[in-house]
Structure formats: structure tokens, C-alpha cells
Amino acid sequence: MKDEKIFLGARIEPEIMDIVDKVAKDRGTDRTGAIKVLISIGYKELNLEKVIDLYRKGKISIDKAARISGLTVSEMMDEIANEGIRSDESIEEYIEGVKNLM
């Protein structure tokens, strides 16, 4: 099943195609490979944005945000700090949460 491929035809603006071609050249791959890389990276970025928004709204914890985004808690904390989000959770509450995960 993993080797199964699905054909996708799409109309793409010339500016987007220029990006695809640049990535293909930089990576030493063809356009298909470049599109796969761009989609994968784009998906991860969109997912991270969604997770950060959920954390900002208090709907998920930092450890759940990390788990969903595929990052470590430390990496997630860095991402959240980069967004200027401050946590209301004390260090004791965080440590207790980590203990509960174990």
C-alpha cells in the first residue's frame, strides 16, 4: 500500500512553479520530488500553527501540543516563546503534568 501512487494534475501559477523549480534544483530532484518536499514542510508548518493556536486558547496543554506537532516539549516551548505566548502554568504544575505522563 505504501508504494501506491495517485496521480494529481494541478494548475499552478508561474510564480509557484518557479518555487518548485528552485527547490528541485537546490535538492537535486525533479519537480515531483520538490512538490512532495514543499507539501510535507507546508503541512508541518500549518499543523504547528494550528497547535499553537489551540495552546494559546487554552484548549490543549504544552505536552499535548508537542505530541500533536511531533516536537519535544522543549522544542514546543521554544516555538510558543517565539510566538510571544507566556504560560500561566507554574513549574510545579508542569512537573506534575510530566509525572502524570510517565
Which band of pLDDT confidence, cut at 50, 70 and 90, is reported for residue 37? very high
Domain coverage including residue 37 = 14-101
Burial 1-10 (b: 16+ CB within 10 A, else e): eeeeeeeeee
Residue 44 within a domain? yes
pTM of the model: 0.73
Residue 1 within a domain? no
Residue 6 within a domain? no
pLDDT in tens, 7-34: 889 999 999 999 999 999 999 999 999 9
Residue 37 within a domain? yes
Q: How far is CA 7 from the centre of its chain?
A: 25
pLDDT in tens, 48-99: 999 999 999 989 988 899 999 999 988 998 899 899 887 666 667 667 666 7
Total number of domains constituting the chain: 1
Average pLDDT score over the chain: 88
Residue 4 within a domain? no
Residue 30 within a domain? yes
Residue 40 within a domain? yes
Residue 9 within a domain? no
Residue type at position 7 = F
